[in-house]
Structure 1
Amino acid sequence: MEFGEEFTFQEYVADGVVHGLGVIAALAGATGLIIWAAHAGPMGHLPLVAIYAAGLLATFLLSAAYNMTLHREARAVLRRFDHAAIFLMIACSYTPLALIGIGGTNGVALMLAVWTIAVIGITLKLFFFVRFERFTFQLMLMQGWLAVLAIGPLIASFSLGVLILLVGGGVLFTLGTLFHLRDHLPFNRAIWHGHVLIAAGMHYVAMFMILRG
């Protein structure tokens, strides 16, 4: 693939910088959170933290692999995994939030609902990418905002700071999709991925606050 077909060299470099920052932040953040959970947090929280960390790492690594690859055939395959990873990251982020932050029946129900959507979304992205592209986009947004169905338990379980970070990250991610959909907008990929990076950072801080208690 040559520059100019999907993006210019300058857009490629800008997106590369964002992805480089994202991968470094994900590696450092995931490692630090697991080490902290292993030494300072309850041992029962460690597997849930590991799930969150794995989803975070997988998403940023797959996104970097797809967006930085110029080989046309490889991009076609990696694109499926890149999009599927978004469903994975949302589900992995919800897991400790639901089971540690909310807990009880409400937490389990929220986690099961999010993972059910994740399985559907990942399956459609991997095997029926073009056919259900619009539907999976809507499904992704629904999965991300599923917490509004548990707004009562969320308000009862989390501090105002955590709620602001969670909602703020969700709003940033949603706004970022507007740039993602505008292929002809200069640097739309870098802007979209910048929104994802900042939103993930906000959710990371919220996750740490939830785990710290």
Structure 2
Amino acid sequence: MTRLKDPVAGLTHLAATFVAIAGTVALWLIAQGDLAKQLSLLVYGLSLIALYAASSAYHLIRTSEARTAALRKFDHAAIFALIAGSFTPPCFNLLTGAWRAGVLGGIWAIALAGITFKIATIQTHRWINVAIYLLMGWFGIVPTIKLFGTLPLTAFSWLLLEALFFTVGAVIYGTKRLNLLPGVFGFHELWHLFVIGGTVSHFMLVLLYVVPYVRVT
């Protein structure tokens, strides 16, 4: 354990990587018969796997300063991919026409710009990162308004839970205040658990409400 750079944060996200792989396979199999829906789920699943794989690699591997910096960039860039990837199944399968094209085009354009910025530039301030991620995530209010009446209210409880996990977790990450066991389990490890909570909430939304939905082409 001492050879690992950040054992708790890294191992929790390593475990989440394998769960994400299993979840992606499950979504693909459940959605058989609708290739377009399967592909939208695959985009989401791959973005989820990428996030947890990049995070676990960055937090577990001890390597040179240059390689650590590269892993950090991919770790942060993967967050942009996950946000856009998470939008993809609900927006592709539940929205139509200009709403579908506009929301997906907008969120992926922002994500690609963010990924490019993260990989090409030096480290930015913690609160700048937090603000950008939260703004992208809360952009989900736009399609959510359109989906009222399409989904049952219980579906929005998962969205609300997801938003709470990510928002509270981001505040914990940004303020660096909650260090429950200094040196072992602090704000960063807590943030990682909140990320898992947020992604599980979104996965349940996709599994229970997006996959069964009969898509309008």
Same fold, judged at TM 0.5 (above): yes
Shift of residue 183 of structure 1?
Answer: 4.4
Cα displacement string for residues 62-114 of structure 1 (whole angstroms, at most 9, x for unaligned residues): 01001112224222110111001001001011011111022332122111111
Matches of 2:132 and 2:23 in 1, distance apart?
28
Note the residue ranges of structure 1 that are not aligned, 5 or more in a row. 4-8
Deviations 1:41-62 (A, max 9, x none): 4222111111111101111100
CA RMSD of aligned residues (A): 2.2
Question: 1:51 aligns to what?
Answer: 43
Distance 1:111-1:89 versus aligned 2 partners, 3 A rule:
same
- Of 33, 36, 49 in structure 1, the residue corresponding to residue 27 of structure 2 is 33
Corresponding residue for residue 137 of structure 1: 130
| Alpha-carbon spacing, 1:70–1:188, altered in 2? closer, same or farther (3 Å) | farther
Residue 133 of structure 1, CA deviation: 5.8
Q: Secondary structure at the residue paired with 2:211?
A: helix
1:177-192 mapped onto 2 (5 Å cutoff)? 177-183=170-176, 185=179, 186=182, 187-192=186-191
Alignment CA distance shift 1:150-1:20 (3 Å): closer
Offset, 1:150: 3.1
Using structure 2 for the length normalisation, give the TM-score: 0.85
In 2, Cα distance between equivalents of 1:150 and 1:24: 30
User: C-alpha separation between the residues in 2 aligned to 1:203 and 1:129?
Assistant: 31
Higher mean C-alpha deviation, range 164-173 or range 194-203:
164-173
Percent of aligned pairs with the same amino acid? 26
Q: Against the structure 1 CA distance between its residues 75 and 62, is the aligned structure 2 distance closer, same or farther, given a 3 Å change threshold? A: same
Partner in structure 2 of residue 6 of structure 1: none
Task: Tell me by how many angstroms 1:211 deviates.
Answer: 1.2
Query: How do residues 117-156 of structure 1 correspond to structure 2 at under 5 angstroms?
Result: 117-131=110-124, 134-156=127-149
Q: CA deviation at 1:160?
A: 1.4
**Is 2:212 the counterpart of 1:212?**
yes
Greater percentage in helix: 1
Partner residue of 1:203? Answer: 202
Give 1:115 shift.
0.7
